[in-house]
Structure 1
Amino acid sequence: MDILDKYELKEWWNTALTPAQRDQISRDYQPMGYPSGARYLYAKLVGKSYCETDKCCFLDVLACVAKDDAKDIIRDKTEQAVKEALSQPRKNYKDIHLALTGLIKHHYRLRQNPAHYNKAKELCLLQISISRQAASAFKKPPKPHGMNMKKFEELLGHTPVGYDTPQMMPSHLGYKQLAIILEKEGELESALELTEKALKQGWTNDSDKCITKLTVKLDKRK
């Protein structure tokens, strides 16, 4: 079983993409530490994987590696995977959050097209809708894989360092990008409300500076 089988993507891979597109992506997809020249996408998976991300982020990375029309094909599949992941009873919020960041960047980059502009706003709102759960997932202290903390402590002979420390939060593009969009559309109050919410949840978005800027603009409007 390779990684495409693991994520149940083999049929889609073989039908949605041309042989040339598959060849380019499988050649250029090179995870860190994997032997140069070997094609990871077709390599047999060995042992357990302890990666914190999942199918959505995997597709997002493939889209970054792909060229030309293949990018759009994989972006569409990524969005589909995100919606499927959100419908599952157990959700990997880190995986979904990070994949949505890639999708928002993609569509906002093409914002001159109204369809992409509106899609970027839609995806920002979707990412914001899971922001509380994603924040909880990102803040959670890491745990040793494959064993409980008590066993890990016994193995080390002392209390492990760093495993009880809340993690630093990443940025939240959904909040940041939508606030910028709302500001440009003249919706300063809504932009300020969003930015304050991002700050309260702990996302590292330079929210303090944005709040100051928006407050000054609102004061001038009075």
Structure 2
Amino acid sequence: MLPFFRRKAESQPTGDWWTEAFTPEEHATIEGVFAPLGGGTAESLARSTNPNSLGALAEYLKKEHLRHLGYKLLDRADTLVNENVPVLNLHFYFAVRGGFYYRWRDHDPFALDEAVKSFERQIGLGANVARFFREDKNWGFIPAHAGYRQLRIIEEKRGNWTLARALCEQAKAEGWADDWDHHIGRIDKKLAAMKTQD
């Protein structure tokens, strides 16, 4: 299993981070793009102590000229990740964080590494989250897993076929939805072809 860095709960920084981190113009920009179905303000999410809330807000800032604001929100959310945050919130947060950084992998030199870290952290929670999905009456099934899927793709592109296969095996063992047998079979063919070339 891939490691998951566990951080103890820390006291939250004092001060008004929302006011200190963003200019009034940036506040207006964030509020302007934030349009949830149920209403509410971007500020209310930004002031949350749940990293998943800040991740949800960052998803509204996916345009190229707004991504720096999304990065600020994710940086703040990272400070809120600790052992007291419910595992399901962390699962969804790391999926959003990974997706946000992955989107900008070709634009920002740090983005791919941050995406990989996010997917690894989400995978580190995988067995516990799968158990939750399986046992919770509101879910009753295990959905697809963004971290396993995307990290498999990344490792395949890097030529790390053995690691990509191990990710598929682990995801399948935990019960995450996807066509893992197909991916494993395709990777096995690639590995076999590589052996014949040696």
Query: TM-score under structure 1 normalisation?
Result: 0.68
Q: Tell me which residue corresponds to 1:185.
A: 158
Q: Tell me which residue corresponds to 1:110.
A: 104
Q: Tell me which residue corresponds to 1:149.
A: none
Match of residue 13, structure 1, among 18, 22, 26? 18
- The reply on whether 1:96 has 2:96 as its aligned counterpart is no
Alignment RMSD, CA only?
2.6
- The reply on whether 1:206 has 2:179 as its aligned counterpart is yes
Q: Partners of 2:110 and 2:67 in 1: how far apart?
A: 19
Q: Partners of 2:78 and 2:143 in 1: how far apart?
A: 21
Q: SS of 2:16's equivalent? A: helix
Kindly report which structure 2 residues correspond to 1:41-190, keeping only aligned pairs within 5 A, or say none: 55-66=50-61, 67-81=66-80, 84-85=81-82, 87-88=83-84, 91-112=85-106, 113-142=108-137, 167-190=140-163
Deviation, 1:95, is 0.8
Q: Letter of the aligned partner of 1:126 in structure 2?
A: R
Q: Letter of the aligned partner of 1:29 in structure 2?
A: F
Q: Which has the larger radius of gyration?
A: 1
Q: Partners of 1:69 and 1:191 in 2: how far apart?
A: 31
Deviation, 1:68, is 4.5
Distance change >3 Å, CA 25–CA 202, structure 1 → 2: same
Distance change >3 Å, CA 9–CA 55, structure 1 → 2: farther
Asked whether the 8 Å contact 2:59–2:100 carries over to 1, the reply is: no
Taking every aligned residue pair, what percent have the same amino acid on both sides? 26
Asked whether the 8 Å contact 2:102–2:115 carries over to 1, the reply is: yes
Q: Partners of 1:42 and 1:214 in 2: how far apart?
A: 45
Asked whether the 8 Å contact 2:42–2:57 carries over to 1, the reply is: no
Q: Partners of 1:41 and 1:191 in 2: how far apart?
A: 38
Q: Partners of 2:133 and 2:26 in 1: how far apart?
A: 34
Cα deviations by residue, 1:105-132 (Å, 9 ceiling, x for unpaired): 1222222344222222222211111111
Structure 2 unaligned blocks of 5 or more: 1-11
Q: Tell me which residue corresponds to 1:48.
A: none
Q: Letter of the aligned partner of 1:202 in structure 2?
A: G
Q: Partners of 1:207 and 1:94 in 2: how far apart?
A: 23
Asked whether the 8 Å contact 2:55–2:74 carries over to 1, the reply is: yes
Q: Partners of 2:178 and 2:32 in 1: how far apart?
A: 35
